[in-house]
């Protein structure tokens, strides 16, 4: 099988949310000696980008995006460990987190998926994440960006606290902070000292690429 054929199959597997096809295709790519990064970018990421664009254009719905993300991760789980360390170091590092007090993580997971598809090394800090965890991750992992979200109003100020924590740690100037979630707004982002707030994950990644 040619590279092009395999990459196309991987891309289609992601678009169609076929986990097994993505997983088998990733294994086949490695067994054929294809470059892992190229396989990710030309196969899995291409497929996820198509899905992301279609979602942004309201051509597909959230369940399809989730199925596609699952397929992409099944391929990534095989390909990422095969990337030489020297190549992995080149990728920008981003963390995603739902702030402390909130466990609604579906939006965060979509952002994580689109960031991964955008070629970033994504640290998923999870949900209900304490401020100290976000600050520690920024410092210890040398993060380039932090994306925080919340669905609920009472936990919005956790974003401000996390940014204050980054300021206190002296790391704020080294990291871009973007926020999201229904109760947030650009004016709230400005008020708490975040760099950006976005309506959707795909646009956020586009913005991030320019900002980084």
Partner 1 sequence: MPEAMTHMERGMAALSNEPVDRLLVSPLSMGVQRRLIGDGVTYRDWAHDPKMFARSFVEGYKAYDPDMAVGLMDLSVMAGDLGAHVRMDLENTPFVDEHIIHDPEDYEKLEVPDIRKGRSAVLLEGTKGFAEALKNDIICAGFIEGPLLALSQSAGAERLFMDMYTNPSAVHNALEVMTDYDAQMVEGFGKTGVAGLVWDYLWGNYSCLGDAEYNEFEVKYAKKLNKLTLDNGMAVCVHNCADMPHLKTQVKDYKTSIYSMAWYPLNPDSPSATKVIEDGYADNCIMAGNIDPQLFIRGSVEKITKVTSDLTKEVKAALCKRGLNSTFCISSGCEVPPDLTTKLENIGAVVDTVKKEGKLA
Confirm or reject binding of residue 154 to partner 1 (CB under 8 A).
Answer: yes
Q: Residue count at the site for partner 1 (CB under 8 A)?
A: 27
Rank residues 2 and 57 by Cβ distance to partner 1 and give the closer one: 57
Confirm or reject binding of residue 32 to partner 1 (CB under 8 A).
Answer: no
How far apart are CB 173 and partner 1 at their closest, in Å? 27
Contact 12, 34 (CB under 8 A): no
What phi, psi does 13 have (nearest 5°)? -60, -40
Contact 68, 48 (CB under 8 A): yes
How large is the angle between the packed helices 62-79 and 46-56, nearest 10 degrees?
A: 160
Rank residues 11 and 68 by Cβ distance to partner 1 and give the closer one: 68
Out of 3, 92, 104, 160, name the contact with partner 1 by CB under 8 A. Answer: 104
Confirm or reject binding of residue 61 to partner 1 (CB under 8 A).
Answer: yes
Confirm or reject binding of residue 161 to partner 1 (CB under 8 A).
Answer: no
Please tell me the distance from the alpha carbon of residue 146 to that of residue 44, in angstroms, as a whole number. Answer: 24
Out of 38, 81, 185, 209, name the contact with partner 1 by CB under 8 A. Answer: 185
Contact 92, 47 (CB under 8 A): no
Judged by CB under 8 A, the chain residues 106 through 135 that form the site for partner 1 are 106, 109, 128
Element of type H or E holding 66: helix 62-79
Rank residues 39 and 155 by Cβ distance to partner 1 and give the closer one: 155
């Amino acid at each position: 099988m040619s590279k092009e054929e395999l990459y196309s199959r991987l891309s289609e597997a992601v678009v169609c949310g076929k986990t097994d096809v993505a997983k088998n295709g990733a294994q086949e790519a490695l067994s054929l000696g294809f470059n892992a990064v190229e396989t990710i970018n030309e196969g899995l990421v291409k497929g996820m980008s198509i899905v992301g664009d279609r979602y942004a254009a309201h051509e597909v719905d959230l369940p399809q995006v989730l199925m596609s993300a699952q397929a992409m991760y099944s391929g990534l789980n095989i390909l990422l460990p095969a990337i030489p360390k020297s190549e992995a170091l080149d990728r920008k590092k981003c963390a995603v987190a739902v702030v402390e007090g909130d466990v609604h993580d579906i939006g965060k997971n979509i952002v994580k998926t689109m960031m991964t598809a955008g070629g970033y090394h994504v640290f998923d800090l999870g949900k209900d994440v304490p401020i100290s965890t976000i600050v520690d991750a920024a410092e210890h992992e040398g993060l380039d960006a932090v994306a925080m979200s919340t669905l609920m109003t009472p936990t919005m100020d956790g974003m401000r606290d996390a940014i204050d924590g980054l300021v206190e740690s002296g790391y704020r100037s080294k990291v871009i902070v973007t926020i999201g979630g229904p109760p947030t707004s650009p004016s709230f982002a400005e008020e708490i000292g975040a760099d950006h707030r976005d309506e959707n994950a795909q646009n956020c990644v586009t913005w991030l690429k320019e900002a980084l």
